[in-house]
Amino acid sequence: MRALGPAVLSILLLAACSGQKAPDPLETRSAAPTASASVPADAPVILAFGDSLYAGYQLEAGQSYPAKLEAALNAAGVKARVINAGVSGDTTAAARQRLAFTLDNQPQKPALVMVGLGGNDMLRGLPPAQTRANLDAILAELKRRGIPAMLTGMLAAPNMGQDYVAAFNPIWPSLAKKYDAALVPFFLQPILAQPSLQLPDHLHPNAQGVDRIVAATEPAVVQALAKALHK
């Protein structure tokens, strides 16, 4: 992975050292499936399975990443219904436990599952080996069910220590290669060092930040969806 610049390192350090606590695991906000009249009835489903960065932490309804991604895709002529299965505070272990229930209760089998997890593991200092094992199990289950996956990655704050960073950061590219999954290397890259795009906690995007992330990730999502539909 390419070395991070000073601005990236400083904002990650600020996020990890912020006086704001991370969302509590019991503070769940699983947004309802997006329902939009502009989405064609035959649109393939993208399931956004993740934590607060998908759930839309402290944002108004319709401002979450899945909601805005759905709007952007359909506005660009790419038919897709994006279901928000994000839960604030989720660790990879908690998400692993709810994966089967979430998939079993989808009215339509997803054409693609986006997996956005790991930030809470890092903020809690959980062992990277556990994070890797949980994400591996999630991807293995998706593969077993014949559902293509896309990973939106995370990076560790440098104050976690060199050993932690060295074990944590390669998890996403390594698993993407293992499972032939599409990869966004660092989901929060588009809002780094830009407080105007962040909530006061310096951890989550505000509505404008979500717009920036959608713009940055939409091409990769389009490519991953097209590949999934032609398998």
pLDDT digits (tens, 9 = 90+) for 157-186: 999 999 999 999 999 999 999 999 999 999
Residue 24 within a domain: no
Tell whether pTM > 0.95: no
Residue 23 within a domain: no
User: Domain range for residue 222?
Assistant: 29-229
Residue 10 within a domain: no
Residue 8 within a domain: no
Residue 151 within a domain: yes
pLDDT of residue 128: 98
Residue 19 within a domain: no
Residue 224 within a domain: yes
Residue 139 within a domain: yes
Q: What gap in Å lies between CA 225 and CA 122, rounded to an integer?
A: 29
**How many domains would you assign to the chain?**
1
Residue 145 CA to its chain's centroid (Å): 20
- The catalytic site residues sit at 52, 201, 204
Higher pLDDT, 115 or 3: 115
Contact 55, 64 (CB under 8 A): yes
Helix then strand then coil, in percent of the chain rounded to 5, is 50, 10, 40
Contact 51, 90 (CB under 8 A): yes
Q: What is the CATH number of the domain that holds 152?
A: 3.40.50.1110
